[in-house]
Structure 1
């Protein structure tokens, strides 16, 4: 134990021991202080993410929504406005009431109902911003709104197309200038009711075909009544010039209408397009299928004397089967028709659109 007593009396060992104890005490105090600081710190409560379910939306009453629309918080107002718009666009009675409103003779009533339709069918912008943009000072604004297809689906029916055409008919300007200037586009200066109706029609044609619009007599009741000129030649020339030199909603609608057979016939009947000449058909199309392939068969062949497995007899039978199937398909095609009726009135001949027959 002599070495241990010498080690104890050595000053360097004592200094090292004291240094180690000091460092350990300081480190322990530091850990205790950090722990005390973390426990004493008051952390702000993290906001909890909350989602509004469909059941919660349906449970909100109209009085509650009216109160939320006047709330000081912008997010609450925005959410309440979206709920109101969704309810309105999914309520058929509300949409029908707005469609009835756009056919009224009073200009202010038509414009108010058109603005309401534009607000509930456009989800891209906030309802508040749309209300401001569709306000009294938006007469010169370019309303390029893009509505959802599911919202526009409520307008893709006969009553909606007829209401839009009627609104356009009421918005006709009896003092409109002749549309013969190829360097000037009059569309930005058109009436706001016309621009809103054309906006709806253009969006509907982007999602659906133009058959219902043609059936609603858009060409006869509005397009043909534009001031294209007095004589037939002047109207035809100005219309084709307008279609060639303009790029607005009207030309987009005309292109969609002209792409359908019924639409082109309506444009031709209104004198806006020249009569279409029948396309030259191949005379061989009217020859029966068997006669076309008679060059493959001998001239003096007798079918009754051929065997069942004879190649010539198999060829004739296959051609006869193909010809019968083709004739049956064409007969079915000539009988195809479309009935457009939403149940608001009895079905009559005006509700039936038959496929135009084409020569066999």
Structure 2
């Protein structure tokens, strides 16, 4: 046991033991303090998701909404703005005032009302604009926005639509959305062709206007070309274009190219799928859109079939009409 006595009397062993004890005590105290801190910490209560009911929205007064619209929280401001827009679009008086405002000759007033109308409307509120009064107001707004110094629309490689005035683009946006969802009959009855389309600078002579009009329709891919295509695709619109001189009197549906209505077929199919997914399709709407889509596809097939031909010539003589064998027109 002499070695044990020597070990106990060794100063290095004593100091080592004291050091280990001190370290263990510090670690233990630290663990106890951390545990006490965690138990003493007051954690914030997690906010619960709350939904605003219709009764809550209706109970909010105008002063409260004004305060919420100036709130520092973006989500609160957005919710308040949505409530204000919903109230405005469901208020017939507000819609009528805005439609009246977009027909004023003062440019700034017309622009303010167009912007306000664009803010409060969405795809769900388009039925409020599918009225005779709304179409007439939009056409009048476009008529007031005509540029008297507009250049001739004869450049098929340059799209002038982005350079048009904002009042025109807003009005055309509403019209494009409406006729894409419904049809162009009310727009035609509101004299869109006579009051705005025919007043565009298509050229000086009748032949030049008709040529530039057809080039615009074939080569441009913007809202104006889409609106024109939908108008031309209806009997009343086709007649209106002829009466206005934009189409020749002897122009017929057989003169149209195969690609003229292809984008309308795709648009109708997309519109059909979109409205079906939104649960807004009525049975008669589904039947009408399907019939129109199938009719357009069948017309394209017949036009393509009627244009098929066979040329028989061995090269020993010039090509003439007798060498072309064409299908009988169905």
Find the partner of 2:128 among 138, 154, 157: 154
Taking a change above 3 Å as real, the CA distance of residues 35 and 193 of structure 1, as seen in their structure-2 partners, is closer
In structure 2, distance between residues paired with 1:115 and 1:44: 43
Query: Is it true that 1:241 corresponds to 2:215 in the alignment?
Result: yes
In structure 2, distance between residues paired with 1:236 and 1:208: 28
Over residues 293-323 of structure 1, what are the superposed CA-to-partner deviations in whole Å (9 max), with x where a residue is unaligned?
xxxxxxxxxxxxxxxxxxxxxxxxxxxxxxx
Report the Cα offset of residue 274 of structure 1.
Answer: 2.5
Report the Cα offset of residue 89 of structure 1.
Answer: 0.9
In structure 1, distance between residues paired with 2:221 and 2:42: 63
The 5 Å alignment of 1:93-132 reads 93-121=93-121
In structure 1, distance between residues paired with 2:59 and 2:139: 37
Question: 3-state SS of the aligned residue for 1:164?
Answer: helix
Partner of 1:62: 62
TM-score w.r.t. the length of structure 1 is 0.59
Partner of 1:260: 234
Question: 3-state SS of the aligned residue for 2:113?
Answer: helix
Over residues 16-67 of structure 1, what are the superposed CA-to-partner deviations in whole Å (9 max), with x where a residue is unaligned?
xxxxxxxxxxxxxxxxx89978754533211122111110000001111011
In structure 2, distance between residues paired with 1:36 and 1:175: 81
Taking a change above 3 Å as real, the CA distance of residues 278 and 182 of structure 1, as seen in their structure-2 partners, is closer
Point out where structure 2 has 5 or more consecutive residues left out of the alignment: 1-31, 255-330
Query: Is it true that 1:91 corresponds to 2:91 in the alignment?
Result: yes
More displaced, 233-242 or 71-80?
71-80
Query: Is it true that 1:224 corresponds to 2:198 in the alignment?
Result: yes
The 5 Å alignment of 1:38-77 reads 40-77=40-77
Report the Cα offset of residue 182 of structure 1.
Answer: 1.3
In structure 1, distance between residues paired with 2:154 and 2:103: 30
Question: 3-state SS of the aligned residue for 2:193?
Answer: helix
In structure 1, distance between residues paired with 2:253 and 2:44: 79
Over residues 213-253 of structure 1, what are the superposed CA-to-partner deviations in whole Å (9 max), with x where a residue is unaligned?
00000000000011111211111000001111111110010
In structure 2, distance between residues paired with 1:194 and 1:278: 30
Normalized per residue, the structure richer in helix is 2
Matched residue count? 224
The 5 Å alignment of 1:304-315 reads none
Point out where structure 1 has 5 or more consecutive residues left out of the alignment: 1-32, 122-146, 280-360
The 5 Å alignment of 1:167-206 reads 167-206=141-180
Partner of 2:309: none
TM-score w.r.t. the length of structure 2 is 0.64
Over residues 80-133 of structure 1, what are the superposed CA-to-partner deviations in whole Å (9 max), with x where a residue is unaligned?
111101111111100000000000010100000000001111xxxxxxxxxxxx
Question: 3-state SS of the aligned residue for 1:204?
Answer: helix
Q: CA RMSD in A?
A: 2.2
